């Protein structure tokens, strides 16, 4: 596009120069300065990054019109990876990137099997496929993820067979799942992903002993071109948190939080039941202070109405930090730039685009 514009412009310049009889050398100098300037100005912050993050949902299980369920899109080169699939994620993807993005995502990491991290998975899997995706969706998660996803496949079996009979393409309709263990489990196109255990399995609140539920809850570290991002998953944060060890030298550390309900009222007791498996801002401050990321980020915020100022004032940390909002973007390169995804709410869709993809 830019090249076409430049060459059109160049033609106009040539004609004018013909009229005024400028020496050819001056003309070449002028054009080269113009081209040089144009290419520099088109090299915006949008392109000057190695990893891009889009926060699709920054809330938790409770419905909120401003903070949808937890889900973050990571883009590294040609690779697009979704981390968690919380309620409303499909709508946010549509807002941020329209049908093109909806049909482009075929890799998902699940931190754990709570519904606020998984319930939108079948929606993206089926929507992306129906509107044109022809590669199968691949889902990675802790023990139990493959069995979990198998239920989704069986639940939508009638829907799939219905659409096959009505000539919807079969390619891309499989859901491929892999239960992973802590450690590096993905290394493709320069993107390396490491899973690590975090403390979110249920505990006895009196004794803090594990209640014996099987499975695991993960955080993830993604490395690409010397840049790195940590996704804490859901976790309480103890002084020896694995997140601190995994976060050394990290560019962006994304951490969940839950604000304790003040007092001893019945409401406070009920609201604070889940504190034992989540992290207070004071605990996150400890993690940030130990890890010293280039940027600390709050996402998965409980309760969702907590304001940015409240959260920042509760966090005793002097490094750079921010509170994520739905559709906020981060460009991670030499600089880390905070932005906002463009809103494509009003785009139209052509059936012929999907059929011919």
Residues in contact with Zn ion by CB under 5 A are 60, 116, 234
As measured in angstroms, the least distance from the Cβ of 89 to Zn ion is: 13
As measured in angstroms, the least distance from the Cβ of 110 to Zn ion is: 11
Q: Which residue has the tokens 């991002």?
A: 229
Using the minimum distance from each CB to Zn ion, give the nearer residue, 130 or 230: 230
As measured in angstroms, the least distance from the Cβ of 200 to Zn ion is: 8
Helices within the chain (DSSP H only): 2-20, 24-42, 89-104, 121-130, 145-155, 157-165, 242-246, 266-271, 281-291, 308-313, 351-356
As measured in angstroms, the least distance from the Cβ of 257 to Zn ion is: 11
Both ends of the chain: CA-CA distance in Å?
23
Using the minimum distance from each CB to Zn ion, give the nearer residue, 117 or 133: 117
- Give dist(CA 28, CA 244) in Å, integer: 56
Using the minimum distance from each CB to Zn ion, give the nearer residue, 67 or 133: 67
Which value, in Å, is the radius of gyration of the alpha carbons in the chain? 24
As measured in angstroms, the least distance from the Cβ of 116 to Zn ion is: 5
- Give dist(CA 259, CA 263) in Å, integer: 12
Q: Which residues of 82-112 are buried (b: 16+ CB within 10 A; e: fewer)?
A: bbbbbbbbbbbbbbbbbbebbbbbbbbbbbb
Using the minimum distance from each CB to Zn ion, give the nearer residue, 85 or 244: 85
Using the minimum distance from each CB to Zn ion, give the nearer residue, 173 or 279: 279
As measured in angstroms, the least distance from the Cβ of 146 to Zn ion is: 21
As measured in angstroms, the least distance from the Cβ of 160 to Zn ion is: 29
CB 118 within 8 A of CB 148: yes
Using the minimum distance from each CB to Zn ion, give the nearer residue, 216 or 336: 216
Question: How is residue 70 written in tokens?
Answer: 């937890």
Is the bond preceding 113 in cis, omega lying within 30 degrees of 0?
no
As measured in angstroms, the least distance from the Cβ of 96 to Zn ion is: 21
Using the minimum distance from each CB to Zn ion, give the nearer residue, 246 or 301: 301
Using the minimum distance from each CB to Zn ion, give the nearer residue, 301 or 327: 301
- Give dist(CA 69, CA 117) in Å, integer: 7
Residue 128 sits at the vertex; the CA angle it makes with 123 and 134, to the nearest 5 degrees, is: 135
How many CB atoms within 10 Å of residue 11?
10
Using the minimum distance from each CB to Zn ion, give the nearer residue, 75 or 234: 234
As measured in angstroms, the least distance from the Cβ of 320 to Zn ion is: 25
- Give dist(CA 91, CA 18) in Å, integer: 55
- Give dist(CA 167, CA 252) in Å, integer: 45
As measured in angstroms, the least distance from the Cβ of 352 to Zn ion is: 40
Using the minimum distance from each CB to Zn ion, give the nearer residue, 114 or 133: 114
Sheet holding 328-332, edge to edge: 175-179, 137-141, 107-109, 79-83, 71-76, 51-57, 328-332, 336-340
């Amino acid at each position: 596009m830019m090249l076409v514009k430049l060459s059109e412009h160049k033609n106009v310049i040539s004609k004018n120069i013909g009229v005024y009889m400028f020496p050819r050398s001056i003309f070449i100098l002028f054009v080269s300065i113009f081209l040089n300037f144009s290419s520099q100005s088109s090299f915006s912050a949008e392109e000057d990054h190695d990893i891009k993050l889009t926060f699709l949902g920054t809330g938790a299980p409770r419905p909120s019109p401003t903070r949808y369920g937890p889900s973050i899109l990571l883009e590294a080169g040609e690779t697009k990876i979704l981390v968690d699939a919380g309620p409303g994620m499909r709508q946010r993807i549509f807002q941020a990137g329209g049908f093109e993005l909806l049909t482009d995502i075929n890799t998902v990491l699940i931190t754990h099997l709570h519904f606020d991290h998984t319930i939108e998975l079948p929606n993206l899997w089926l929507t992306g496929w129906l509107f044109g995706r022809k590669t199968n969706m691949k889902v990675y998660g802790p023990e139990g993820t493959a069995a979990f996803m198998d239920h989704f496949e069986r639940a939508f079996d009638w829907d799939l067979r219905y659409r096959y009979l009505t000539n919807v393409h079969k390619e891309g309709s499989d859901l491929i799942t892999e239960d992973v263990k802590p450690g590096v489990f993905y290394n493709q196109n320069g993107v390396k992903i490491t899973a690590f255990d975090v403390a979110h399995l249920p505990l006895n609140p009196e004794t803090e002993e594990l209640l014996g539920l099987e499975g695991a809850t993960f955080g993830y570290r993604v490395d690409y071109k010397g840049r790195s991002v940590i996704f804490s998953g859901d976790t309480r944060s103890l002084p020896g948190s694995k997140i601190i060890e995994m976060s050394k030298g990290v560019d962006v550390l994304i951490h969940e939080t839950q604000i304790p309900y003040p007092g001893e009222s019945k409401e406070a007791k009920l609201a604070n039941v889940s504190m034992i498996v989540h992290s207070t801002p004071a605990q996150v401050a400890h993690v940030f202070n130990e890890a010293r990321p280039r940027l600390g980020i709050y996402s998965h915020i409980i309760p969702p109405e907590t304001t940015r100022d409240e959260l920042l004032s509760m966090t005793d940390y002097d490094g750079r930090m921010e509170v994520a909002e739905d559709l906020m973007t981060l460009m991670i390169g030499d600089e880390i730039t905070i932005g906002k995804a463009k809103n494509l709410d009003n785009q139209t869709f052509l059936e012929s685009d999907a059929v011919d993809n």
